[in-house]
A and B are shown apart, each in its own frame.
Chain A
Amino acid sequence: MTQVSAFTAPALPGLRNLLSRYGENMMWLARYMERIENMARLIDVTGSSVQGSNRDAGWDSVIRINADEAFFFHHHKAATEQAVVAFYITESENPDSIKSMARCARENARVLRPLISTEMWMHLNVFTRWVVDLGPEDVGASYLSALCTRLKQDCQTHFGITEGTLYRDQAWQFYSLGKNLERADQITRLIDIKYHTLLPSGAGVGSDIDMSQWTSVLRSAAAYHAFRRVLPDGMTPANIVGFLLKNDGFPRSLSTSLRNVYSALGILAGEYRLRQCGPILERVEELRVTLVEQTVEDIILRGLHEYMDWIQRELRQLQNEIAQAFWPPVVSVAPMGGMEQMQD
């Protein structure tokens, strides 16, 4: 066992020795909460930007953003508002539904109870119980916006409580890694699908398109007002894509998320002397360089879809490398479900 003998750093007593499993759960807690927030945003914006008499138009892109075409159409005939909303909010069979994700967040939080603050737990406990109890009657079109608002606010409350109460050690860095990897993933999916959906076929950069749809893309990323401040007259698809990918001041842009990933890994490598971070840092740096060195026009000309696809593959690879470095698979792992023991 080379790792045992090679380890020389001084022992840190107590919880500062972060269990691998806690690291993994911290990361996934953040990812699930971030994913729930993004899903609520997307549904809210899709529901409120539907125009004209056909309420069911535009919902298919929600399915495509989440790459759920096969699974969705196995269960539903058509991408109607009702079907898509149920699929992504209340259907337990769908692992990507908000209800399923809330369950996962709760399971992760249960594991993390020894580590997270009581305030974090209390909020998650109440929030996830509420979500798990949501029924079809709660997601009707007339309540949808209010429901999504509450979902978003609860996620934001979670992030706020965490920021204000979680002890800052390695666990916080893994949480931050999870949150920012998820944001990076979500923003690239959104751009990829929306860009190709909204551009009329055969049209090039700068074509005359329906700007109200692009406004809704910005809104679903919470970027509308920030974009207006930076580029008051520049409402073009390329500018919008560029803003979401490359703007360093916008908290959900790809460049900001990658910067935060880099910073969390850097702290783990430096302050906590986790040397496994080295090669992972290099991969993130490489990603950041490709983003800085190209203009958005270059990216679009060379193929936006290919670039987004590549980024997503890189993000998955990053997640795998982090898992391999900090919670390597154990031979003969016990399953999550322990058996019940009688304890008197």
Chain B
Amino acid sequence: MHDMKMAAQAAGLFATYDIPDFFCELLNRGDTPPPGLQMVRDRLARFDLTELRRRAAAVEAQFYRLGITFTVYSDREAIDRVLPFDVIPRVLTAAEWDHVERGVQQRVRAINLFLHDIYHDRHILRDGVVPADLVLGNPNYCQAMVGLDVPGGVYVHINGTDLVRDRDGRFLVLEDNARTPSGVSYVLEDRQMMLRLMPDLATGLNIRPVDEYGPRLHRALVEVAPAGIAEPQVVLLSPGIYNAAYFEHVFLAREMGIPLVEGRDLMVEDGYVYMRTVAGPRPVHSIYRRLNDDFLDPLVFNPDSLLGVPGLVDAYRRGNVTLANAIGTGVADDKAVYAYMPRIIRYYLDEEPILTNVETHICAERAGLEYTLANLEQLVVKPVGESGGYGLLIGPHASQAELAEFRDRLRANPANYISQPVISLSVSPTLCPAGVEARHVDLRPFAVTGESTWVLPGGLSRVALRKGSLVVNSSQGGGSKDTWVLAS
């Protein structure tokens, strides 16, 4: 009721905005939003479409000049694409953020306790809370980590939690990213760009800053370095310039003021890690690695990997270097383990989860498979262990033939899948070719953990630019929005 009145007042830019039957973060919230959010709404309404498009074009040109790109591969040539950026920010209220922040911190705490447990005494498995074979038989479970004590018990130093909001605006966890979550550079770049090109929108608003991320991350990596080093040398280990996220690696190395290294820049001698500098080998103590487990050390993992550092795992096991994130964290963000996360939180923390999971059916379990097969046209089915929105089935959008084919795949390899109901994802007004329209969004807050856990206010809001689409991944036609967390 209140919202409709608001929307009418806010006409202008939103005059033709067709508020869908979803939770709209700006225009259909079902509450009386705080003054800050109303101010954004009113200011936006006064923009005319031409002016908004002019700003959007300026943003894109600037991103192009800066080379803020991700890399898409086609045949031999690597093509740099600019990640589409929407000039209409996504705004979170202080109360919403407080809830998300506490929920993320709780989840990171539980994930770290879980990882410590499964690589040590395995209480949770013996107590039957999580099936032992799901963990011990998981391809991401790493034998080299068994019995190893990591500094501060921190396995996941950088965590990304993918959140969506349902029809009621309730935040739900879609998945955890506890390996090498990416996207934080867009958060910082988007903000800089936004304040430069839409200053009139932000004036006078108390928006939580995001530029602390680099120093916070650096501090955390120093905190978890091996004990007794006065000034630990931190480096960022990247697969190199052909990696899709290379821009982000550069960005973070710059924000932290640390060298960006590749495997060939590092060497291990007598269990210590060194980097090759013009002054000869220099010790390295803490490595923020953006290289997957399999590529880290050809002596332990993939022997064909040329990206890693021979002997790195040995140095790590001796406690002479810290890896962030630790090895073998993938078992905690596995889509099958995800289903148990609420129980994992209760088990270690004796607390109710602050952020709830999306209802999840585990096809490895008979009941889960039968339910999934019977209700396929209403479910989203996800392969476990895949990333980037590949190999996903969205039941309501699939043809009969696609459904039939997927049923066969499910029966052939049920343990590879989980299913979830289709969530009516929240929307946010987005500048589209035909005007300002509603598009689905998600949110990935980033948590940094050293001696304590700090959550970057906001996070990456990804937007599915195609009308009706629920897939927000950058590799599948998604874009990003600046996320504003109001301080009050």
A interface residues, Cβ below 8 angstroms from B: 1, 3-4, 7, 9, 11, 13-15, 17-23, 107, 110-111, 113-114, 118, 121-122, 125-126, 170, 174, 268, 272-274, 326-327, 330, 332-344
Q: Is the CB–CB distance between B269 and A1 below 8 Å?
A: yes
In the complex the two chains form, what is the Cα distance from A26 to B287 in whole Å? Answer: 24
Q: Say whether, besides A20-B265, A126-B65, A343-B245, A11 and B278 are in contact (CB < 8 Å).
A: no
Q: Is the CB–CB distance between A17 and B292 below 8 Å?
A: no
Q: Contacting chain A: which of B100-108, B234-242, B418-426?
A: B234-242
Q: Is the CB–CB distance between B66 and A118 below 8 Å?
A: yes
Q: Is the CB–CB distance between A114 and B264 below 8 Å?
A: no
Partner of A21, one of B250, B253, B265: B265
Instruction: Considering the complex, give the chain A residue whose CB is closest to the CB of B272.
Output: A4
User: Is B58's beta carbon under 8 Å from chain A?
Assistant: no
In the complex the two chains form, what is the Cα distance from A14 to B283 in whole Å? Answer: 12
User: Is B25's beta carbon under 8 Å from chain A?
Assistant: no
In the complex the two chains form, what is the Cα distance from A273 to B242 in whole Å? Answer: 34
Residues of B within 8 A of A268 (CB): 278
Sampled A-B contacts (7; CB under 8 Å): A3-B280, A9-B279, A113-B247, A122-B65, A326-B278, A341-B292, A344-B473
Residues of A within 8 A of B264 (CB): 21, 330, 333-334
Partner of A20, one of B181, B242, B278, B290: B278
Q: Is the CB–CB distance between A4 and B246 below 8 Å?
A: no
Q: Contacting chain A: which of B113-121, B150-158, B254-262, B342-350?
A: B254-262
Instruction: Considering the complex, give the chain A residue whose CB is closest to the CB of B474.
Output: A344
Residues of A within 8 A of B278 (CB): 18-20, 23, 170, 174, 268, 272, 274, 326-327
Q: Is the CB–CB distance between A341 and B261 below 8 Å?
A: no
Residues of B within 8 A of A272 (CB): 278-279
User: Is B388's beta carbon under 8 Å from chain A?
Assistant: yes
Q: Is the CB–CB distance between A343 and B246 below 8 Å?
A: no
B interface residues, Cβ below 8 angstroms from A: 65-67, 73, 177, 180-182, 231, 233, 239-247, 250, 253-254, 257-265, 267, 269-270, 274-283, 290-292, 295, 306-307, 387-388, 473
Q: Say whether, besides A122-B66, A343-B244, A17 and B275 are in contact (CB < 8 Å).
A: yes
Residues of A within 8 A of B259 (CB): 14-15, 17, 19, 22, 114
Q: Say whether, besides A11-B233, A20-B265, A344-B182, A338 and B239 are in contact (CB < 8 Å).
A: yes
Q: Which 3 pairs show the lowest CB-CB distances between chains A and B?
A: A344-B387, A338-B240, A334-B306
In the complex the two chains form, what is the Cα distance from A126 to B233 in whole Å? Answer: 34
Q: Is the CB–CB distance between A15 and B239 below 8 Å?
A: no
In the complex the two chains form, what is the Cα distance from A331 to B67 in whole Å? Answer: 33
Residues of A within 8 A of B233 (CB): 11, 13, 17
Q: Is the CB–CB distance between A110 and B307 below 8 Å?
A: no
Residues of A within 8 A of B245 (CB): 343
Q: Is the CB–CB distance between A343 and B279 below 8 Å?
A: no
Q: Is the CB–CB distance between B242 and A337 below 8 Å?
A: yes
In the complex the two chains form, what is the Cα distance from A343 to B184 in whole Å? Answer: 13
Q: Is the CB–CB distance between B277 and A17 below 8 Å?
A: yes
In the complex the two chains form, what is the Cα distance from A65 to B181 in whole Å? Answer: 51
Q: How far, in Å, is B324 (CB) from chain A's closest CB? A: 15
Partner of B239, one of A19, A23, A174, A341: A341
Q: Is the CB–CB distance between A107 and B276 below 8 Å?
A: no
In the complex the two chains form, what is the Cα distance from A151 to B292 in whole Å? Answer: 41
Residues of B within 8 A of A15 (CB): 257-259
In the complex the two chains form, what is the Cα distance from A110 to B247 in whole Å? Answer: 9
Q: Is the CB–CB distance between A338 and B262 below 8 Å?
A: yes
In the complex the two chains form, what is the Cα distance from A268 to B278 in whole Å? Answer: 10
Q: Is the CB–CB distance between B182 and A343 below 8 Å?
A: yes
Q: Is the CB–CB distance between A340 and B73 below 8 Å?
A: yes
Residues of B within 8 A of A20 (CB): 265, 276-278
In the complex the two chains form, what is the Cα distance from A343 to B242 in whole Å? Answer: 13
Q: Is the CB–CB distance between B253 and A114 below 8 Å?
A: yes
Q: Say whether, besides A7-B281, A122-B66, A14 and B240 are in contact (CB < 8 Å).
A: no
Residues of B within 8 A of A18 (CB): 277-279
Q: Is the CB–CB distance between A334 and B263 below 8 Å?
A: yes
Interface centre among A13, A17, A333 (most CB of B within 10 A): A17
In the complex the two chains form, what is the Cα distance from A107 to B242 in whole Å? Answer: 10
Residues of B within 8 A of A339 (CB): 239, 242, 307
In the complex the two chains form, what is the Cα distance from A109 to B264 in whole Å? Answer: 18
In the complex the two chains form, what is the Cα distance from A9 to B295 in whole Å? Answer: 33
In the complex the two chains form, what is the Cα distance from A7 to B281 in whole Å? Answer: 8
Residues of A within 8 A of B265 (CB): 19-21
Q: Is the CB–CB distance between A334 and B307 below 8 Å?
A: yes
In the complex the two chains form, what is the Cα distance from A238 to B246 in whole Å? Answer: 52
In the complex the two chains form, what is the Cα distance from A14 to B292 in whole Å? Answer: 24
In the complex the two chains form, what is the Cα distance from A326 to B257 in whole Å? Answer: 22
Q: Is the CB–CB distance between A17 and B282 below 8 Å?
A: yes
Q: Say whether, besides A4-B274, A11-B282, A344-B388, A114 and B260 are in contact (CB < 8 Å).
A: yes
In the complex the two chains form, what is the Cα distance from A344 to B180 in whole Å? Answer: 8
Q: How far, in Å, is A278 (CB) from chain B's closest CB? A: 14
Q: Is the CB–CB distance between A4 and B239 below 8 Å?
A: no
Given contact pairs A13-B231, A14-B259, A274-B278, a sample of 14 additional A-B residue pairs in the complex whose CB atoms are under 8 Å apart:
A11-B283, A17-B277, A17-B279, A19-B277, A170-B278, A174-B278, A326-B278, A327-B276, A338-B242, A338-B243, A339-B307, A341-B239, A342-B387, A344-B388
Q: How far, in Å, is A341 (CB) from chain B's closest CB? A: 5
Q: Say whether, besides A334-B262, A334-B264, A3 and B282 are in contact (CB < 8 Å).
A: no
Q: How far, in Å, is B6 (CB) from chain A's closest CB? A: 37
Residues of B within 8 A of A326 (CB): 278
Residues of A within 8 A of B306 (CB): 332, 334-335, 338
Q: Say whether, besides A327-B278, A339-B307, A21 and B262 are in contact (CB < 8 Å).
A: yes
In the complex the two chains form, what is the Cα distance from A9 to B277 in whole Å? Answer: 13
Residues of A within 8 A of B269 (CB): 1, 4
Q: How far, in Å, is A312 (CB) from chain B's closest CB? A: 25
Q: How far, in Å, is B78 (CB) from chain A's closest CB? A: 9
Residues of A within 8 A of B73 (CB): 340
Interface centre among A126, A340, A343 (most CB of B within 10 A): A343
Residues of B within 8 A of A14 (CB): 257-259
Instruction: Considering the complex, give the chain B residue whose CB is closest to the CB of A328.
Output: B276
Instruction: Considering the complex, give the chain B residue whose CB is closest to the CB of A7.
Output: B280
Instruction: Considering the complex, give the chain B residue whose CB is closest to the CB of A333.
Output: B264
Q: Is the CB–CB distance between B240 and A7 below 8 Å?
A: no
Instruction: Considering the complex, give the chain A residue whose CB is closest to the CB of B263.
Output: A334
Q: Is the CB–CB distance between B276 and A330 below 8 Å?
A: yes
Residues of A within 8 A of B66 (CB): 118, 121-122, 125
Q: How far, in Å, is B309 (CB) from chain A's closest CB? A: 10
Q: Is the CB–CB distance between B281 and A341 below 8 Å?
A: no
Residues of A within 8 A of B177 (CB): 344
Residues of B within 8 A of A21 (CB): 262, 264-265, 276
Interface centre among A9, A14, A18 (most CB of B within 10 A): A14
Q: How far, in Å, is B385 (CB) from chain A's closest CB? A: 11
Residues of A within 8 A of B182 (CB): 343-344
Q: How far, in Å, is A313 (CB) from chain B's closest CB? A: 25
Q: Is the CB–CB distance between A1 and B243 below 8 Å?
A: no
In the complex the two chains form, what is the Cα distance from A174 to B257 in whole Å? Answer: 20
In the complex the two chains form, what is the Cα distance from A13 to B231 in whole Å? Answer: 7
Instruction: Considering the complex, give the chain A residue whose CB is closest to the CB of B264.
Output: A334
